[in-house]
Amino acid sequence: MRDRHAKILATIGPASSSFEMLDKLFIAGADAFRLNFSHGDYATHKTNIENIRKLEEKHGKPITILQDLQGPKIRLGAFKDQAKHDLEEGDFFVIDDNPEEGDKNRCNLPHPEILDILTKGDKVYINDGIVRMNVVEKQGRKVTCKVYEGGTVSSRKGVNLPGVDLPISSVTEKDWQDLEFGLENGVDWVAVSFVQKEQDILDVKAKVDGKAAVLAKIEMPNAVKRIENIIDASDAIMVARGDLGVECPIEDVPSIQKKIIRKCRQEGKPVIVATQMLESMIENASPTRAEVSDVANATFEGADALMLSAESAAGKFPEKAVQTMHNVICRVEKSSAWYDLIHAREVSTMPNTGDAITHAAAETAYALKAKVIVTFTEYGSTALRMSRQRPRRHIIAVTPHLHTARRINLAWGLNCQIKPNPTSQESLSDLALSAVKDAKLEQVDAPIVLTAGLPFGVAGTTNMIRVI
C-alpha cells in the first residue's frame, strides 16, 4: 500500500511498453496507465493491456487502464512540394475549400463545415498556436485572415479556432472503432477528447453502457463555459492543459485548473491534471524547479491524479520521471501546509445518507486519531464519497468486484482491495481487520473506522459507521 493520496497516471509509449519497464514504473509509483490512441496500432495496445494485467497479477493490486481517444484533429491540407512558409505579422493568408496544394498565400482546410461557420473577427491558430491570425474577410468558403503573430506553416499542421463552437462531433469514426476495441479488451476508463458539451459525454456513455467509466478532457473554451454540466455528465475530468493553453489565453490556465479541481471535488468526481508536468525530463534526468512547483501545486490543490505524458511514453528517463513525481507528492503530503490547504477547502455535505455517513466517518477518524478508514463499497460510490472528504487518513476501499476496484483506484487516497461481501456484523469486522493487515501498514494500534451498508451487498445502502 502506497503512503500517498494523490495518484500517478503514466502514459505508455515506445520508452515504456516492455513488461520490464512497466514493472519498474509501477514500483516507482505509477497507479494507472494511459493508452494514447492518437498513436500505435491495435496489436501494440493489446500487448500493453495484457502486460498491465500480468503486472496486476504479479503485484496483487488493481491497476487502472485509461484509453484516451484521439478526437477530431483539424489540420491544414498539403503545401506544394511539402514546402514550409514563414508568415510575418501583417501578412494575409487564405484558408479555403480549394483542393489544390497550398503556397505562401493560401491553403486548403478540408473541413467545409468549419469554413461555413467562421465569421469576421474569429481567431485562427496554426501549428499549436505559433501562428495566430484573425478572420478579416469571408467570401463563401474563402476565408481571408490577417497574421498578428508570425511563424512557420507547413503541410498538415494543426488548426485551433478558440471560442468557435465547432460543428463537429467530439468522437470521430476512428474513435468509435477504437472505443469498441478498448471495451472488448477491458479498459477501465475512456477519455473523450475535445469535449464541447455534456452531450458529447452522454453519447459515449450510451455506447459504453457501463462497461467502463467515461472521462471528459477539458481543453476548449466552450467546455470551460459549460463545465458544471460536463462534470455532471462525466465520471471524471481531465484538465488537459496542452490544448487548453492554446485555445485559451495561457495566463488563464492556472485559474481554470483551480476552478475545475474545486468543482470536481464538490461533486465527488475525480479530477486529473495533465500535460507538461515534468516536461524537461523527456531529455533530462532532473526536473526544473518550476516543474517541481507545478506538481506540488496540483497536489496542494487536491487533484486526484497527476499525469505524465511524453515523460513516460517517449522520454529518456521514464522510471525516474515517475519516481520524481512520487517523491514530490509524498513530500507535499507530509507538510502541514498541505493539510491546512486541503481542509481549508472543505466541501459541503450533500443531502443524502451516503454523503452524511462518509462525512461523519472522516470526522470520527479525526476525533479518535484513527489511522485507517475502511469503506465497503459495491460499485464505488461510497468510496468516492469518502475520497471527496480528503481525510488525512489511509482509506481502504473494499469491494467484491475487480472492475470496481480498477475504476476507483484513480481517485484520491483510495487503496482498493478485493474481498467478498460481509454476511454478518462479525464478518464485517473480520474483513476490515483483514484488509488492514493485507495493506501491510505499520502496527495500527489506534481504532479503525469503517463504513458499510445494510443489507450487505446491496449498492447504494451505506448507512452505518463502526469503530473497531
Catalytic residue, candidates 275, 358, 377, 462 = 275
Do the Cβ atoms of 418 and 60 come closer than 8 Å? no
Residue tagged active-site, from 2, 75, 138, 419: 75
The reply to whether 406 belongs to the active site is no
> Rounded to an integer, what distance in angstroms lies between the CA atom of residue 383 and that of residue 391?
12
Indicate the helix (H) or strand (E) that contains 106: strand 106-108
Q: Alpha helices, DSSP H only, in 107-252?
A: 112-117, 173-184, 198-208, 221-225, 227-233, 241-247
Which of the residues 4, 7, 11, 34 is marked catalytic?
34
The answer to whether the Cα torsion of 373, 445, 30, 266 is positive or negative is positive
Catalytic status, residue 382 = no
Told to judge if 106 belongs to the known catalytic residues of this protein, a careful annotator would answer no
Give the active site residue among 123, 217, 226, 371: 217
Q: Starting at the edge strand that comes first in sequence, how are the strands of the sheet with 372-376 ordered?
A: 414-418, 394-399, 372-376, 448-453, 462-467
Distance CA 208, CA 191 (A): 12
Whether the CB-CB separation of 216 and 195 falls below 8 Å is answered with yes
Look-up of cell digits 511563424: 151
Our answer to whether residue 152 is catalytic in this structure is no
Which residues share a beta bridge with 192? Answer: 216
Residue 365 C-alpha cell reads as 477518524
Neighbours of 163 (CB within 10 A): 13
Interacting residues of 205 by C-beta distance below 8 A, sequence separation 6+:
214, 233
Pairing type for strands 92-96 and 142-149 reads antiparallel
Active site members: 34, 75, 217, 275
